[in-house]
Structure formats: C-alpha cells, structure tokens
Amino acid sequence: MNESENLPLEDALPPVDAARQRLLDDVAALPGLPGVYRYFDAQGTLLYVGKASSLKKRVSSYFQKQHGGSQTRVSHMVSKIARLETTVVRSEAEALLLENNLIKTLNPKFNILFRDDKSYPYLKITGAHTAEGASAPAALQYPRIAYYRGAVDKRHRYFGPYPSAWAVKETIQLLQKVFRLRTCEDTVFNHRTRPCLLYQIKRCSGPCVKEIAQPDYAHDVGNAERFLLGEVEQVMGALQARMLAHAEALEFEKAAEIRNQLGALSRVLHQQSVENNAGGAFDKDADVIAVVVEGGRACVNLAMVRGGRHLGDRPYFPTHVEEAAVLGKALAEDEADVTTDAAAESAEPGESQVQIQVLEAFIAQHYLDGAPPPLLITSQPIAKSLVEALREASGVRIVAQHHPREQRRQWLEMALKNARIKLAQLLAEEGSQRSRTRSLVDALDLAPDSLDSFRIECFDISHTAGEATQASCVVFEQHKMQSAQYRRYNIAGITPGDDYAAMRQVLTRRYGKLAEAAVKGTARLPDLVLVDGGRGQVSMAREVFGELGLDLGLIAGVEKGEGRKVGLEELVFADGRPKIGLGRDSSALMLVAQIRDEAHRFAITGMRARRASVRTGSSKLEDIAGIGPRKRAKLLQRFGGVRGVANASVDDLAGVEGVSRELAEEIYRVLH
C-alpha cells in the first residue's frame, strides 16, 4: 500500500495544491451574507476588490468555472489568487461604500480606477450670513464674491462645485456685470479712499467709498445668491417691483439703475449657450454623465448644471478598464446585485455592459464620499442599489435618469459628443507614443515580453562647477513617463565635478539591491538603461553592470552629435555593438530625446533646490543652538530672508536684537 494513502489530504498534496485546497475550503465556509471580498496573490499584492449580496454565491463563482480557458484574463487572475479576505456588512449600501473606499485606497490591478487629485473650485460669497447689522465690520456688511478651492467654512456661502476655474471666473464676471458686487480683498476694501477702475467701468457699485447704501447692496447680494440657485424669474420679478416702487416715489435715478440691471440680466440670459427654462427643482442642479468605451480605453465626461446653468464639463480617463471589463463580462451572469436590477437586465450585452461597469465605478468613487446633486442624467442605466447607497450616504433624494427628454436630452447628447472627442484625442496621443515605443524597440532590435510593459530608465548628472551634485533617474513605461517612480540621488564622497564617479555611484546604488531582488524573482530590471553621455559614461556603466553580473546589452548612452546639434544624437552601446544614428526625423530618436530631456530637467530642478538650500542654510538656521523661533523671525525680518542672512557679515548679524557676538560668529560659520 502506498504510504501517501494514509496521509491527510493536505499532507498528500504538493505544496501548491495544498494551498489551493485551503483556499477552496475558505471559499466553501463563506456565509451567504452581503459583504466585500479581496483577492491577494502569493506576494500579498491585492488583485481585486468586489462586493456581493451573497459572499458565498459570488466568490464561489470564480472557482467553479473555467472562464473561457486558461488564456483569458479572468482565468489568469483566478490562477494567481493565493488567499482571500472578506468583510461582512449589514446591507448592499454598506458594501458599496466599503468597496469604493478600498478601491481608491489600495488600487487593485483588476478594478476600474478613477484618479482625480484635483479638488473642485467653488464661487464664494464672503460673510453672507453675517452681513446684517450696522455694528458688523464694513467688510462683512458688504460681502465680496471670490474664486475658492479648499475646505468650506460655515461663515461664508459657497456655490458649485464648478468643473473648472474658468467656469468660476466666468460666473464672477457675469455677477459683476449684473449685480456689481465687489471682488477686492478685505484689506484693500478697508483702506480705499476713492473708487477703483471696476467702479468706473460699472463692474462694481463702489461700496468701499459708500457709493451704495448697505441695504441696497444687501439686495444685490441676495439677488446674486438667488440667481446662482436658479431662481431667475424670482430675481427679475423682485427687480421689477423695486424699479416700480422707486418710480412711484419719484426716485427716477434709482429706478433707472435697476432698469439697467434688468437689461444686463436679460442680455446675460440671452447669451447663455445652454439655458434651461423648465424651472423644475431637478433641472436647477444636475450632473450629466456620459461614457464612451473604445480601443480598450474609456472616457467619462461629467457636465455640471447648477442653478439651471450649464457650467461646462470635465473628462475622466479610468485605468484598468480592459482587465475589469473582461472580468465583469465573464462573470456578469453571477453578479447578483446587478442582474437583479431591472435596468441592468435590460441593458445590451457587450460594449453596453462595459459602459455600465465604467459608469457605476465612476459614480461610486466620485459621489459616495461627496455631495451628489438631486438629478443624475446618465448615458447608461445604473443599478438601483447604487442609487440607494448614494441616498443613504448623502441624505439627498437622488433620481437617476438615462432616457431624458427635451433640454436634458440636449445636455446628454452634448456630453456624449464631448466624451467621444476627448477619447479620440487620447487614443491618438497614445497611438503616437505607442508607435514611438515600437520604433525604438525595432531600431535597437530588442525583444521585450510585452510592448506595453517595455521599461526604460534614464540617468543624468547635474551640478554647478561640482557644487550640489545630484543624479536623476526617470522611468518610461506603458508608453509614457511614470513620474511617481522618479528618483533623485545626492552624490557625495567624490571629487567635485567628476561626472564619471557620480554615474558609478548612482548606478551602483540603483541596481545593487535590485539585481539581487531580480535573481529572486521579486523585482524586475528595466529593458533598457539610458545614460546621458558618450563612451566615457557608457564605460562606467559597463563596469558597474559587470560587477553586478547584469546584462551589458541593457545599456545605451545618448551621445551628442556633430556640433552638439539637436537631431544628430547617436546611441553608444556597452556590449560592443557599433554606435547608431537614428536620424533627425526618426520617431525612435524623438522618444529617446523626450526621455533624455526629462531626466535632464528632473536633475537640474533637484540640483538647484539643493544648491539653494546649501547656500542659504535654510535647513540649518533653526538647528543652530541659541536660535529659536523669535530670533529666527528677527533675523529673517532684518535681512529679508534666509539668503540675506547668509550674505550678512558677523557685524551685521550681531546688530540684530538678541544676537550676541558669539552667536553671530556661530551663525556665520554654520552658513558658510
């Protein structure tokens, strides 16, 4: 009898199969409750985050099917799953919230991800709630309108958000024309003795010099707020009533001013290219979201309507679309929280299903921790569970509509058109970069595993006559520069101005540990290493790579051509191949020049910052014993900044209150 027959199943299986069996046992033990699941590979890298109304049913579906064979992305992902984690929640709405937070925080490979580091701008009316009362400061009695970006303050009123700074500034100009509200800072307002130019061109009513009474200015502020909220008819009615009242009181000059205000408002409304006259509550504040998918990329165009006015749009381009789309389509029949939704069931398969995935990912990541408007006009239907989650998270009654009519339909068609244009521009740019990558690979006769994963690292040395030497390393991958992976290296312990020694140091520091990790399979070396320089720099790189046991064929130097003219650069190789010139019009040369110039820029900016720090001692001043915040402030005030302190003599430093002769000599010694 075979001894392995008496062993437990886990001991009888090979280690890989045993780990897989433990994973399947964990899946079988999952509860049939709503929650969020997370897949990890053997290195602990997060692969995918998903939600489910039933964890047991949803997760089991991944391991019960072949998903189209071993070559599909779904099968590839499932084969890499080494462990899973789950979190049980009380409802699908909570699952949506948790899934959204995990995706944005952890950036899993197979999830659609939207990146937007920019906050939205707002239009601010300062002190609008405290403007009443003669005892209030003058600046609060006459609120100002301003562009604002950041955390909101309850003392002021905010309108928006707006899709761009341009939209805010255009609205401010509109309010200046109609309501003539001030835009000057409070410090300027408090010290003016005569009206400014804006008063002369009738863009401000001159509250700084009391050209308008406070009650009249308050009326203008109130009308401006109602206009921004979409209450245009009420504003015009109130202005007409005031005009008639002034006329009946024989105050014809004031009546004429309001008449001019009404005329300006009418002209502004007539000039609006997108105007809504329906007057419904939903039409005042709405977001129009259009999705277009093509060529493995997607564009989500978000158009904002606030106060019945179309404020413009902003495109978003998510990552991981192709992986998530294939994954979603392969498992769509098992996605209980989507297929149970009537709107999603009626959606067409294929491209429409991908658009729904992208749209729902955008809405979840954009709104679940934000403030959605009461109306969402979408190019595709979205799950009811997502709308319910938005309602619970925001406390706002939200309606999602994907078959709009009349004005709303025009908004959606415009958003779709802009999405197609933006996506076409992106694909054209990416196609150009991809062709450059292909051209370089062909010119150098390289054979990368994948053109999309082809990686180039480029090094440059920068210093000023040997001072503040710094090396830069920039990375090109996926047909674009990867700024998050850039690195700077402070070079020390060499003869000032020795670029060869600097190159040896940075390459040793960069690839010393990386070479060891690559042998273990935990790191990946670049497909090409560019150094900015000719045979001397390449020789130094060859020595370093030889000592580390790395392939010399990875190294190429970018050598200046005849007369150091742009377009005549040549590539010098470390493995003995003859140098080549790519040609002035070569797309491969364009890519090499782009990467080389970026490495040069990154090195110079770092070197200049370091040089300024060394010369001025900005990082050393507070470290001097006896220099506290007060003395530092006095020194900076006396000499106009840290550079002035560094340029001061010992006698000048000793002349500052609280600085003794001994301390002045110490400051001078440290900074020099």
The pLDDT tens digits of the residues spanning 328-368 come to 555 554 444 444 443 444 444 456 788 888 888 888 888 87
d(CA 375, CA 378): 10
Of 126, 115, 188, nearest in space to 152 by CA? 126
d(CA 230, CA 284): 6
Residue 168 domain-assigned (yes or no): yes
State the average pLDDT over residues 187-192: 84
What distance in Å separates the CA atoms of residue 604 and residue 598, rounded to the nearest whole number? 10
Query: 522 by DSSP, 3-state: which?
Result: coil
Is the domain of 470 the same as that of 573?
A: yes
pLDDT given for residue 620 in this prediction: 62
- Find the largest Cα–Cα distance for the chain: 117
Confidence (pLDDT) at 623: 66
Bridge partners, 305 (sequence order): 286, 310
For the ranges 169-173, 193-197, 243-247, the lowest mean pLDDT is seen at 243-247
Residues 285 and 194 in one domain: no
Q: What is the number of domains present in the chain? A: 5
pLDDT, mean of residues 63-78: 61
Residue 115 covered by a domain = no
Both 203 and 348 in a single domain? no
Q: What is residue 3's predicted lDDT score, i.e. its pLDDT?
A: 46
- Of the candidates 629, 584, 566, 593, the residue with the CA atom closest to the CA atom of residue 456: 593
**Residue 281 reports pLDDT greater than 50:** no
- Using CA atoms, how far apart are residues 206 and 197, in angstroms rounded to an integer? 10
Cα–Cα distances (Å) from 25 to 42, 331, 431, 575, in that order, read 17, 21, 46, 53
Asked if 293 contacts 321 with a C-beta cutoff of 8 angstroms, the reply is yes
Q: Select from 74, 106, 138 the last residue of a domain.
A: 106
Q: Mean pLDDT over residues 5-29, rounded?
A: 64
Domain-located, residue 358: yes
pLDDT given for residue 336 in this prediction:
42
Mean pLDDT, rounded, of the chain:
79
Residue 470 gets which letter from DSSP?
Answer: E
Note whether residue 527 is domain-resident.
Answer: yes
Give residue 325's pLDDT.
Answer: 60
Instruction: Specify the amino acid at residue 648.
Output: A
Task: Note whether 461 and 600 are same-domain residues.
Answer: yes
Q: What CATH number should be reported for the domain holding residue 335? A: 3.30.420
Q: Residue 116 — pLDDT band, cuts 50, 70, 90?
A: low
Q: What is the CATH number of the domain that holds 21?
A: 3.40.1440.10
Output 267 or 406, whichever has higher pLDDT. Answer: 406
Domain that includes residue 662, residue range: 617-671
Q: What is the mean pLDDT of residues 177-198?
A: 86
Residues 187 and 156 in one domain: yes
Residue 284 or residue 102, greater confidence: 102
Q: Residue 275 has what pLDDT? A: 43
Residues 633 and 593 in one domain: no
Q: What is the pLDDT of residue 456?
A: 93
Per residue in 515-567, pLDDT (tens digit) is: 888 777 777 889 999 998 888 888 999 999 999 888 888 899 888 766 566 66
| 308 and 399 share one domain | yes
Which residues, at least 6 apart from 487, have a Cβ–Cβ distance to it below 8 Å?
Answer: 472, 473, 510
Please, which pLDDT band fits residue 154 given cuts at 50, 70 and 90? Answer: confident
| Amino acid present at 160 | G
What is the reported pTM?
Answer: 0.60
Please determine, for residue 611, whether its predicted confidence score (pLDDT) is greater than 70.
Answer: no
If asked whether residues 98 and 148 sit together in one domain, one would say no
In a domain, 450, yes or no: no
CATH code of the domain in which 486 resides = 3.30.420.340
Q: Which residues of 156-172 are buried (b: 16+ CB within 10 A; e: fewer)?
A: bbebbbbbbeebbeebb
pLDDT range class, residue 268, cuts 50, 70, 90: low
Asked whether the predicted pLDDT for residue 66 surpasses 60, the reply is no
Residue 476 has pLDDT above 90, yes or no: yes
Q: How far apart are CA 622 and CA 579, in angstroms?
A: 52
Give every CB contact of residue 665 below 8 A, 6+ residues apart in sequence: 650
| Contacts by residues 366-372 (CB-CB < 8 Å, ≥ 24 positions apart) | 366/114, 366/116, 366/302, 367/393, 367/394, 368/96, 368/97, 368/100, 368/393, 369/100, 369/101, 369/393, 370/394, 371/396, 372/287, 372/396, 372/398
Model confidence pLDDT, tens digit, residues 567-582: 677 888 988 888 888 7
Most confident among 54-68, 103-117, 373-387, 429-443 (mean pLDDT)? 373-387
Q: Are residues 172 and 82 in the same domain?
A: no
Residue 451 lies in a domain: no
Helix spans in 350-470 (H): 351-367, 384-394, 406-443
**Among candidate residues 251, 271, 291, the one where a domain is terminated:** 271
Same domain as 608, residue 470: yes
What is the C-alpha separation between 274 and 310, in angstroms, rounded? 6
pLDDT at 71 over 70: no
Same domain, 651 and 577: no
Do 254 and 289 share a structural domain? Answer: no
Q: Which of 594, 614, 634 is the last residue of a domain?
A: 614
Q: Amino acid letter at 444?
A: L
Three-state SS sequence of 302-351: EEEEECCEEEEEEEECCECHHHHHHHHHHCHHHCHHHHCCHHHHCCCCCH
Q: In residues, how long is the chain?
A: 672
The verdict on residue 329 lying in a domain is yes
Residue 440 lies in a domain: no
